[in-house]
Each structure stands twice: as structure tokens, then as C-alpha cells.
Chains A and B, each alone.
Chain A
Amino acid sequence: MIAELGHVALILAFVVTLLQFAIPMIGARRNDVRLMLFGDYAALAQLCLIAFAFTALISIFVHSDFSVKLAALHSHSQTPFIFKITGVWANHEGSILLWVLILSVYGALVPVFGRSLPLSLKARAISIQGLMGLGFLAFILFTSNPFERLIPVPTDGQGLNPLLQDIGLAIHPPFLYLGYVGLSMPFAFAVAALIEGRVDAVWAKWLRPWVLLAWSFLTIGITLGSFWAYYELGWGGWWMWDPVENVSFMPWLAATALLHSIMVLGTRHSMASWTILLSILAFSLSLIGTFVVRSGILVSVHSFAVDPERGVFIFAMLLATIGGALGLYALRANTLRARSSLNLVSKDGALVINNLLLIAATITVFLGTFYPLMVETFTGAKISVGAPYFNMTFAPLMSLLLIFMAVGPLLKWRSDSLTKYKSTLRKGVIALVLIAVIFGLFGKSGLGGLSLGIAAFLAFGTLATVGKKIRWGEVPKRESWGLLRAQPAATFGFIGAHIGMAIFAAGVTSISVWESSDLRELKVGESIALGHYEFTLNDMTPGERENYQFLGANISITKGGANISDVYTERRYYPVREMVTTEAGLHLSPTHTLFAAIGEGNPDTGWIVRVNHHPFVIWIWIGALLMALAGFVSLCDRRFRHRSGEKTRSDTLVIS
């Protein structure tokens, strides 16, 4: 019964969404306020209906109702409670429903927060949100109904893929989707602005917090995914340049560019058409992210829902969405005037360079991800592009970006001169060289030293910018602290994000240059030495838990005879799925991670044990989370709220 109710709710949502698309659009054209306001109510109604359907699906999973096909395929009566819930979105149908649910949440937030917006702009944006919801609801109803019944009813379900039975996965996709779908906001508003024929500072200022929000969620989502792959998949790496990782990274790069270009548009009224294109690009890449994972077009470990037929549907939808938006852009682009000439030595100039580098990085990742597909299309050969390509191309681009990140924020808007900052920059360069030489010599890696130096340069540049804002050294210290307290939240967001990036870069450098690992067959009592550390296999105990059997190994790690840590690693066998997984044992500390994972083996010849020493790896995720946190801090900025007074015509950049 509940399944049918859920299905009906989805059909009703489809109808409501159709109206949400059509009526406000007509209203905006006729300038009819009542028709335009209809969109607000439709967006709220759509949210309620989809939330009901989603709750129904959760209830089906929790109650192990295996007459519903989805639950039978992806759950099991013995699955732990938490994984019954996360199992809802650990599959194709459920994850697309989650996608639409989040889309409707964002859609419903437009009327709540958009009171200060021009009525026609708001109506058109809500209408475009409706159109996207329509596409995805059609996709669900026609190709992937989550409420499909199964006859005859099986006695038990097939269980959730053991790889996905992890708390990291429980929260990774929802955050990723909050980010992906959050980018639908700039997209909808970009399209609405193109229809309106006007892109202005009001538009940019209203939209910026939404880009920030989506960006922060996306950052968290990717970070969790990376952490999950590190400790659950036991790959011994934090980033594999796996196609599915790449497709989540590309929208992030584009959103980062958008975050900065929209700042220029809001302050300097330039980069309007570029910002529109970035809005379209960022969301398009999010859609491609969904599309690539779901169609199996690129084969990788993540693609647990390979299904070309659905791929064709998503492909058509993707083409219509992006093609429609870019078509509209083609009609309007030439009427869009650039207002001011650009001075390269200025904050605007630095942000343009930032954008170019980020887009170059996006294209690099795009080529690396899709080049194998292109080669296969034209020659039939299957090839794969691995980490060496990305390290060769991506690392230099990022190093360059870090240097501009250090200098750019120091500069003033409009025009500035570098000679003013000579002494500051000199200090920064001295710090860079000093750190590069010290770490280069002691770590025996010139490149490693250089990267750490650049990270330090970024941290220094960021602090110098703050110093300039609070006039550190110019006025008495007490006054400076007062100025710091009076800084808007956005300043603290800036500090967090840029320092976070420096920490992240330092962490990445450490693990890339100074990691070590070994692999050996060990019997109980034997040990492996890795640098100063000794890993001893103490005992092996088999056992059985809720829904799997396991063989656990206690491994003790000592350094110079003193015990540092005992880690526990196990191999699990899930009978329902006939799958074996490895749980790695980790000793996390601020300075390093010691990692041990047990592989195949038997008591006679021993078990394969892999050990890794990863210096400072945890700072990768701390740096990334700091960036995300900084995004949320920026959102608290007062300037994002009382904005109705700023609605002046003079701010307007006209496309006529």
C-alpha cells in the first residue's frame, strides 16, 4: 500500500512540476503577478510530494518489505538498521529519487529567500527549476520506478553491496548531491537572466551565497568520498584519478571558478557573459557526473549501476538542458556589453587569471577522463589514462594557481601596482625559498621542497592580506585586533578557504613524495620493517557477525622497541553477495598514518600483509574540510541578507 502511495505522490509531483514550469513562465511574459506567484506555491507543493515519496521508500526499506523490487535487490532482513536506510540511495533508483528530492528542496528555497528579487526573474528561475524537475521525474517514472513490485515475493532480500556498507557511504552521496544539485540554482538563474535579457549586480549578489552553499557541500562530499576510498576500499591512496572521482571533481573546479567570477560581477559589473557560461558549465558537469556514473560509459570500480538504456535517456536530457541553455546564450551573447577594460595588476585581473587556470584544470581533467573514450570511438582501442598524466599536467597548473592565490587577494579592485607590495612579496619569496631548500635537502626531493615552499607562500600571502585589512603594524596592536573583530564573515571565510588550500597542498605533497609501503607474506609472529617502524602480525581470529564472516588480524606497530599502536584489520566474507572485502587497520595521527591491510593466505604459508606509511595524510582532509567550513562561515555574512536597499538601477548591466 505504502509503495502505491509513494508512486502516486511521484505522479502528482510530475503534474505539479509541469504546472510549475508552464504557468510562471507565461505569467512572466504577460507580466501577470498572480500567475508568477503560482510558481512559489507549486515549488512548495512539489517538495512536499517528493518528500512524501522518499519517506515512503525509506519506510519500505526499514520494514524490509521485499515485495518491492528495489528493497529485495538492495536490502536484506539482517542488514543493520543504519544500512537499511542508506541502502535507499545506494542504488540507481533511490539515488535519482534523492537527486530530485534535493532539487525540490532548492526549488522551494527560492520563494523563501527570494522576496527581494525582481518578480519576473524569480518566476522564470522557478519555472526553469520546474523544467529540470520535470525531466528527472519523467526519468524516474518511465525508466526507473523505485516502487516497482516483485511477484512472487522473495523470502529475503539480496543484501546491500558490502563495499557500500559503511558509514562513509551513508553520508557521502547526500553531500555530493547537495553540491551537484545546488549548482542547479546558478543554472536556473543564468537561464532566467538570459530570458530576461539582463545580468546585473543584484543578480550576482543574490546568487553568490547559493554558489557558496553548493560549493561547500560539494567540497564535503568529495572529501568524504576520498576518505571513504582511503580506508574502506583499502586502496592505500587518497585520490586515484578514477573516472568517477574525476567527474565529481570537474564541477568542483568549475564552481570554484564561478564563485570567484560572480564576485567580480557583483563588485565590478564585469565578466557577465563569462559568469553565465560558468553557471551553465558547472551544472552541466554535475549532470555529466550523474550521467557518467549511471550509464557505465566509463568503466570503473564505482559504476554499480551499469545500464545503457537509462544512459540514453539521461543523455537526451543532458543534451536538451545544456543545448537549450547554450542556444539561448548564442542568441543573447552579442548584446551583452563588457563594461570596463581590464587591468591585469588588480584584484579583477588576478581573478581572471584564477578563472583561466581553473578552467584549464577542468579541461585537463576532462581530457584525461574522456580521452580513452575518444580513442575507443575512433580507433576501437581500449586505453586508460592513469595518474602519471594527471601528475604531469595537473600539478604544475595547481602550483601556478597557488602562487596567484597568494598574491591576488593583496591587490585592490580596478587597478593596483605590484611595487607597493615589494617588501611583503620579498618576505614571502624568502619564506618560499627557505622552506624549499630545507625540505628539499632533508627530504631529498627538490620538487617536494618546492611544493611545500609554494604552500607556505600561499599561507603567507593570505595572512599578509589579513594584515593589510587590519592594518597590522601600522596602528597599535589593540586597534588591529578591534579591526579584525569588525571584519565581515566573508573575510574569515576567505582566510579559512585559502589557508585550507595551503594545508591541503602541503598534505598532498607529503604523501606524494614521502610515502613508503611494503607487501609481504607473514605467518603469525613474523614482522615487516618499514622505515623506523616494525609491523608484527600477532594473531588471526576467525568469527562471524551480523551479516558476514570475518578473519581478523591484530598487528602491532613498534618504533625502536616501543609500542606505538595496535591496529586491527580484517577480511570479510558476505555470504548473501558472495563477496570478500578488506577492512584496513589505520593508526591516524597528526603527523602520519600507519596503514595495514591483510590479504589472502593460509596458516601454512602465511597471509599477505600490506603496510603503508603516509606522512601528514590526514591534513589533506582537514584542509579540505576547512575550505568547506570557510564556505559556511562566509554564508553568515550580513551583507548577504539585508539587500533590498541595494536594488538600484545604476547597478544594472543591460542586455538589450
Chain B
Amino acid sequence: MARIFRATWPLMALLFLAILFAFGLTRDPSVLPSEMIDRAMPEFELTDLYRPNVVYTQDLLLDDVALINVFGSWCIACEVEHPKLMALSRMGDVKLVGIDWRDTREKGQRWLRKNGDPYDLVIFDEDSRLAIDLGVTGAPESFLVDKEGRIRYKHVGIITDDVWSNILSPIINDLKAEE
């Protein structure tokens, strides 16, 4: 027995790791973990970026389809994404909710003053409370929430023209058509 183990332990270790990797490979890191799709928005109680006395909860996202966008004044890619969000805001197709993540009120507000504020409202998430529950891995990251307040899609990275017209826009139209 010991002899067999002496000869085959490296092979067994490899087998164990291979199974692990095989599972890992089938998961695309940019896809929302399946257990979160169609779940209700996680509960939260956070304040408005501009008005610290205004408190929002998950009920905020009922009634309408919304695009939630995680950003921060420290995030360079967000600056690249920003013009697209400004354009979406002008078109007014979808409710835009910002989450200002790991930021200070002052810097977040200044950044939006400088670049323009495309959001209907901005949630201030200094300590990653909501970001952790949403499984945010980096900024920018965007979520689509349906009329019932459930998360239906997650996009990691910049919303480009391509992403908007081929992915997000069709899903939003579907979500709007839902009763």
C-alpha cells in the first residue's frame, strides 16, 4: 500500500488540482455568479452623494428598469466610460443610478462637476457595503435591474457603443416590455 502511494501521490495531487481548474475554467470571471441572477437587489441603507441626510434603500429600485453604474473619482477607466453615460442620460431611455464607490463625498462631487453628472441619483458607498453584496470586482461595473427590483444582468468594464447597442439596450427593451 505504502509503495503504491509513494509512486502515485504526485499523480493524485495533479488529478485533484485538475478538477479544481476544470471547474474554474468553466466560470467566466466577468459573468454574474449564477446564484445572483434574478435575485432581488441586496438590502442596503446608504445616503445620497450630495445630501448626506437623504437615505436610500433597495426599495428605490422598484417600479422602473434601472442601469446601476459603479464608479469612483479614482477610477481612470470610468473617465473613459463617462461620455457614453452622458449620452445615455441625454437620450433618457433608462433610469441611471450611480454608486460612488470607495470615494470621499468631496472628490466624488468634484469629479461629477468636472465631467458632468449623467445619473438620476447617486448612492454614496464609501465603505463598499453595497459593492461587496453586489460582488463588485472593480470599477466601472454595471447592473441591470428590472421593475421588480431584481438584478438581471451584470457587465464588467466600460460600456462601449458596442456593448450598449448589442447587449444592454436589447435587454433593457425586453425588461421594459415585461409586465
B-binding residues in A (CB < 8 A): 277, 280, 295-297, 299, 306, 308, 311-312, 315, 319, 322-323, 326-327, 329-334, 370, 373-374, 376-377, 380, 382, 578-580, 600, 602, 605
Other than the known A297-B25, A322-B14, what 14 A-B pairs have Cβ atoms closer than 8 Å? A280-B10, A297-B29, A299-B137, A308-B25, A311-B25, A326-B10, A329-B10, A331-B7, A332-B7, A370-B20, A382-B137, A578-B80, A579-B80, A605-B110
> Is B135 an interface residue, CB under 8 A from the partner?
yes
Judge if B6 is at the interface, Cβ distance under 8 Å: yes
Of residues 36 through 94 on chain B, the ones whose CB sits less than 8 Å from some CB of chain A are: 73-74, 76, 79-80
Residue pair A315, B137 in contact (C-beta under 8 Å):
no
Complex formed: what's the CA distance from A333 to B5 in Å? 10
Say how far A304's CB is from chain B's closest CB, in angstroms: 13
**Residue pair A299, B29 in contact (C-beta under 8 Å):** yes
- Distance (whole angstroms) from the CB of A37 to the closest CB of chain B: 33
CA A600 to CA B114, docked complex, whole Å: 12
Show 19 A/B contacts (Cβ-Cβ < 8 Å), sorted by A: A277-B10, A296-B29, A297-B24, A297-B25, A306-B29, A311-B25, A312-B25, A322-B14, A323-B11, A323-B18, A326-B11, A329-B7, A329-B10, A331-B7, A334-B3, A373-B21, A382-B33, A578-B80, A600-B73
Q: Are A330 and B7 in contact (CB under 8 A)?
A: yes
Q: Determine the distance from Cα of A256 to Cα of B55 in the docked complex, in whole angstroms.
A: 57
Q: Smallest CB–CB gap between B168 and chain A, Å?
A: 19
A150 to B129, CA, bound (A): 46
In contact, A315 and B22 (Cβ under 8 angstroms): yes
Q: How many angstroms from the CA of A312 to the CA of B23 in the assembled complex? A: 11
Shortest C-beta distance, B17 to chain A (Å), equals 8
Contacts of B24 in A (CB 8 A): 297, 373, 376-377
Closest B residue, CB atoms, query A303? B29
Contact A602-B114, Cβ < 8 Å, known A295-B25, A315-B21, A377-B23: yes
Residues in A neighbouring B76, C-beta threshold 8 A: 579-580
B27 on the interface (CB 8 Å rule)? yes
* Whole-angstrom CA separation of A382 from B28 in the bound complex: 12
Chain A nearest Cβ from B36, distance in angstroms? 9
**Given contact pairs A326-B11, A333-B6, A579-B80, A373 touches B20 in the complex (Cβ within 8 A):** yes
Near A by CB (< 8 A), chain B positions 98-121 give: 110, 114
Q: How far is the CA of A323 from the CA of B14 in the complex (A)?
A: 7
Partner of B11, one of A297, A330, A376, A380: A330
B14 touches A374 (CB 8 A): no
A277 surroundings in chain B (CB, below 8 A): 10
Q: What is the distance, in angstroms, from B6's C-beta to the closest C-beta of chain A?
A: 6
Number of residues of chain B lying within 8 A (CB) of chain A? 29
B7 with A376: CB separation less than 8 A: no
**Least Cβ distance of A530 to chain B in Å?**
21
> At the interface, yes or no: B162 with Cβ under 8 Å from chain A?
no
The total number of A-B Cβ pairs within 8 Å is 68
A297 CB contacts on chain B under 8 angstroms: 21, 24-25, 29
CB-defined contacts of A377 to chain B, threshold 8 Å: 20, 23-24, 27
Q: Is B166 an interface residue (CB 8 A)?
A: no
> Chain A residues near B35 (CB, 8 Å)?
380
B13 to chain A, nearest CB (A): 8
- What is the CA–CA distance of A333 and B8 in the complex, to the nearest angstrom? 8
Known pairs A299-B137, A334-B7, A382-B135; A326 contacts B28 (CB<8 A): no
Q: Which of B10, B11, B114 has the most CB of A within 10 A?
A: B10
* Given A334-B3, A580-B76: A329 and B25 interface contact (C-beta under 8 Å): no
| Closest B residue, CB atoms, query A335 | B7
- A327 to B8 Cα, complex, angstroms: 8
CA distance A329 to B7 in the complex (A): 7
- Give the complex CA separation of A277 and B10 in angstroms: 8
Q: Which residue of B lies closest to A366 (CB)?
A: B17
Docked pose: A311 CA to B25 CA in angstroms: 7
User: Across chains A and B, which 6 residue pairs bring their CB atoms closest together, nearest first?
Assistant: A333-B7, A377-B23, A326-B11, A330-B7, A330-B8, A326-B10
* Residues of A contacting B8 in the complex (Cβ-Cβ under 8 angstroms): 330
Chain B: CB-nearest residue to A331: B7
For A602, the chain B residues whose CB sits under 8 A away are 114
Instruction: Give complex CA distance A605, B76 in Å.
Output: 19
B155: min CB distance to chain A, Å: 15
Cα distance, A255 to B119, chains bound together (Å): 54
Contact across chains for A327 and B25 when beta carbons are under 8 A apart: no
Kindly state the separation between the CA atoms of A380 and B36 in the bound complex, as whole angstroms. 10
Judging by beta carbons under 8 Å apart, are B29 and A380 in contact? no
Residues in A with CB closer than 8 Å to B33 are 380, 382
Asked if B29 and A327 make an inter-chain contact with CB atoms under 8 angstroms apart, the answer reads no
B34 and chain A: residue at smallest CB distance = A380
Docked complex Cα distance between A382 and B136 (Å): 9
Chain A residues with Cβ below 8 Å from B25 are: 295, 297, 308, 311-312, 315
Which chain A residue shows the least CB distance to B80?
Answer: A578
Cβ distance B134 to chain A, nearest Cβ, rounded Å: 11
Are A374 and B79 CB-contacts (below 8 A) given A311-B25, A329-B10, A330-B11? Answer: no
How far apart are B24's CB and chain A's nearest CB, in angstroms?
5
Is the pair A334, B20 in contact by a Cβ cutoff of 8 Å? no
Complex Cα spacing A331 to B166, Å: 54
Please state if B28 and A308 are interface contacts (CB–CB under 8 Å). yes
CA distance A580 to B81 in the complex (A): 13
Q: How far is the CB of A182 from chain B (nearest CB, A)?
A: 22
Q: Evaluate whether A374 and B11 lie within 8 angstroms (CB atoms) in the complex, with A311-B25, A333-B6, A600-B73 already known.
A: no
Bound together, the chains give a CA A654 to CA B3 distance in angstroms of 18
Chain A hits for B79, CB < 8 A:
580
Give the residues in chain A near B27, CB-CB below 8 Å.
376-377
How near does chain B come to A536, taking the closest CB pair, in angstroms? Answer: 23
